[in-house]
Structures are given as C-alpha cells and as structure tokens.
Amino acid sequence: MKRRAFLKTSLVAASVTAATDASAAAKPGLEYYELRTWTLKAAKQPLLDTYLSRAFIPALKRLGLGPVGVFTEPMPNGELKVVALILYSAPEQFATMSARLAADAEHQKASAEYLNAKAADPIYSRIESAFFGAIEGLPKLARPDASQPRLFNLRIYESHNERAGKKKIEMFNRGELDIFKRVGLTPVMFGEALAGTAMPNLTYLLVFPSEDGRKKAWDTFRADPAWLKLKAIPEYADKEIVSRITNRLLTPAPYSEL
C-alpha cells in the first residue's frame, strides 16, 4: 500500500515538473504560485474561514510554505468566491501538498468540520486550481503590508496561442512592468499559467490602498508617454497578443497574510 502511494505521489510530482515551462525551469530563483478558488454560498463563509485560518494555513506553515493570501469576491445570487494565493519555491511542493496534508494529523483534527461536511449540505460547490510560474520581470512575490488597508486587482490576460502569450510576457518584462511600478500599479505577483483553465494566459495581482487609488493609478497609466510608446509597437498591439482580459476586485480576509 505504501509503495503504491509513493509511486502515485512520484508520478504526480513528475508530471507537474514536466508541465512547467522549460524557460522558467532553466532560470533558478523564479517562484511558483497556486490560485485556489472555492465557490460557495455566502452563508457558508464562516465555516470556510475557520478551516482556512485554523487548519489550512497553519498546516502550510508546518510544510514550509507561504505566505498565503486569502481574498473574497462577491458573486450574484448570494454566492461568493474565496481565493487563496499560495507560494511555492518548487513545483514538487505543489504536486505533493495534498498527500502531505492528508498525512498531517494536526491538520486532519483541525479541519474535521470542513472534511466531514455532508453531501446534502456541502460547504462549497467546487474548488478550482491554477498553477503559475513567475515571470522574469517579477521573479518573486512582492509582499504587501497586511496591516494597512488594501484592495487587490486580479487580472487575467488570455492569448489565442502560446506564441502570443509569450509575447505579452515579453512586453511586461521589457518595459510594461516598470511603467506599472512607476505609476502606482503595485505588483504582488505575475505568473505564466502552467496548468489550469483558459490557457495560455498571464495572470497578475496588483494591490492598492483603496478603490480611488486603483482608479487614479490606471488613469495615470493610460496617459503615460512610455506606455503610449510601448503599446504603439506593432508586435505588442493588444489585438495581436491578447484575446481576452478578465478584471476582478478582491478584498483580503482578516487573516490573510498578504
């Protein structure tokens, strides 16, 4: 039994490692990120908050993972999404985390209510997960001050094929990210999707002190001369390299480490 479990874990780790982009794997120092999203009824949020704050995040700390950001996004019909941003130093940590949590007796005890939810009364409808490799322009997480008021902006840039997706990443690496930092579009993470939905895509998270600060920074960016010059380069035109942009606003949970 132990041999089968070992082989299964090894195969999962190998498959995730193989799926990571070759260019990222060749450049040590780049971090990896998971965005894990629970969709649930708002009435169930206290149960999920209890699990994340008292069981999940402490268990990840014991595994040497983190920091972990937790954010909420209201949805129609009394639903919401809870998004966790998890930091990894290597893809193998992502591949083996589920098995390691299952073997953690303290985690199992602290998460009993969450894990023992009945099928007739689930805490959430489904969990979605996407895995990313950091881009060269922001190789490591830029941790915001969690003691200050903050609003997060999650943006997803989908491309019509892999070549176009790489071109958008190149655009950020060669100038757009520097403009972001200068005008107040403060980055937390930039990741190239290695597994998940809507691939290929570049996903990034920005932080602002408020909604007014977010709007002001974007207005400043749109009028910035360096940005206007960069986006005028034909090979960087949005219509050539970006097929869809998803824009989401996230509020940090009280126990979020980001």
For the stretch 157-169, pLDDT in tens is 999 999 999 999 9
Q: How confident is the model at residue 27 (pLDDT cuts 50, 70, 90)?
A: low
Query: pTM of the full predicted structure?
Result: 0.88
Which residues make beta-bridge pairs with 249? 153
What are the tokens at 84? 């966790």
Strand 32-41 and strand 126-134: pairing? antiparallel
15: pLDDT strictly greater than 90: no
Cβ atoms of residues 256 and 69 within 8 Å: yes
* pLDDT greater at residue 5 or residue 257: 257
Which residue type sits at 106?
E
Helix (H) / strand (E) element for 219: namely: helix 211-223
Which domains are assigned to the chain?
25-252 (3.30.70.100)
Instruction: Name the phi and psi angles at 32, rounded to 5.
Output: -125, 150
Which residues make beta-bridge pairs with 14? none
22: pLDDT strictly greater than 90: no
Dihedral (CA of 84, 85, 90, 91) sign: positive
What are the tokens at 238? 């949005």
Nearest Cα neighbor of 78 from 107, 51, 52, 43 is 43
Average pLDDT over residues 217-230: 98
Which residue in this structure is represented by tokens 């974007």? 218
For the stretch 177-193, pLDDT in tens is 999 999 999 999 999 99
For the stretch 66-112, pLDDT in tens is 999 999 999 998 999 999 999 999 999 999 999 999 999 999 999 99
Helix (H) / strand (E) element for 204: namely: strand 201-208
- Beta carbons within 8 Å of 25's beta carbon, 6+ residues apart: 17
Taking the CA atoms of residue 200, residue 250, residue 121 and residue 105 in that order, the dihedral angle to the nearest 10 degrees is: 80
SS3 71: strand
7: pLDDT strictly greater than 90: no
21: pLDDT strictly greater than 90: no
Nearest Cα neighbor of 192 from 12, 13, 2, 27 is 27
% of the chain with per-residue pLDDT over 70: 89
Q: How confident is the model at residue 18 (pLDDT cuts 50, 70, 90)?
A: very low
What are the tokens at 16? 């995730």
Q: 37: how many CB neighbours lie within 10 A of its CB?
A: 16
Q: Is the peptide bond before 122 cis (omega within 30 degrees of 0)?
A: no
